[in-house]
Amino acid sequence: MNSVKEAVTWSGPAIFGLFTVGGVESRLAAQEFAQAGMRPDEVHAYRMSAGPGGGRAEAAVWEYDLTFRDTDLVFAPYLRECLRRASAHAQGIAWLAFEGSFHFDHLFTDDIAGHVYGYCVIGGDPVVTWDHTVLAGDAWKQEIRTVRGVLDRTFPADGAR
């Protein structure tokens, strides 16, 4: 697989995992994902819990699974708008990642950088890439490290204060 689009449609429909970490407890409503003239066929939201001592101070983490049955759509502009809206709502960071890549101890680390294919820090420009070659490169790892720096400054790991 050379493209992210191929990876997110491997099981038939396009399924995007969008995550947020921020200071806002509430989740986005499903209708908030109607962006750029597109609307997912299904939206499922899950509050992520790290368990005792494994989270981030004062941070709420949500996962949203966005499903589209029509896989011929142009997704990148839509996903950029979703990232912008989600990071603003969360008052933090939003990112796109492949299923199975989420773990509180590995947010924006080198070992999962290749599984993160988009991100937006509140107030910044959203970034989305469809190219696995980009995801495997050192420049992408550096971008993800920069996001990790924002995470660590804004929402330190429990016990790091």
> DSSP letter string over the chain?
--BHHHHHTTTSSEEEEEEEEES--SPPPGGGG-BTTB--SEEEEEEE---TT-SBTT-EEEEEEEEES-TTS--HHHHHHHHHHHHHHHTEEEEEE-TT---GGGTT-GGGGGGEEEEEETTS--EE--BHHHHTSHHHHHHHHHHHHHHHHHSPBTT--
pLDDT of residue 50: 57
161 falls within a domain? no
37 falls within a domain? yes
102 falls within a domain? yes
Counting the structural domains of the chain, the total is 1
44 falls within a domain? yes
Residue 155's pLDDT band, with cuts at 50, 70 and 90, is: confident
pLDDT digits (tens, 9 = 90+) for 91-104: 999 999 988 777 77
Considering the entire predicted model, what is its pTM?
0.91
- Domain span at 69: 4-154
160 falls within a domain? no
54 falls within a domain? yes
pLDDT of residue 51: 52
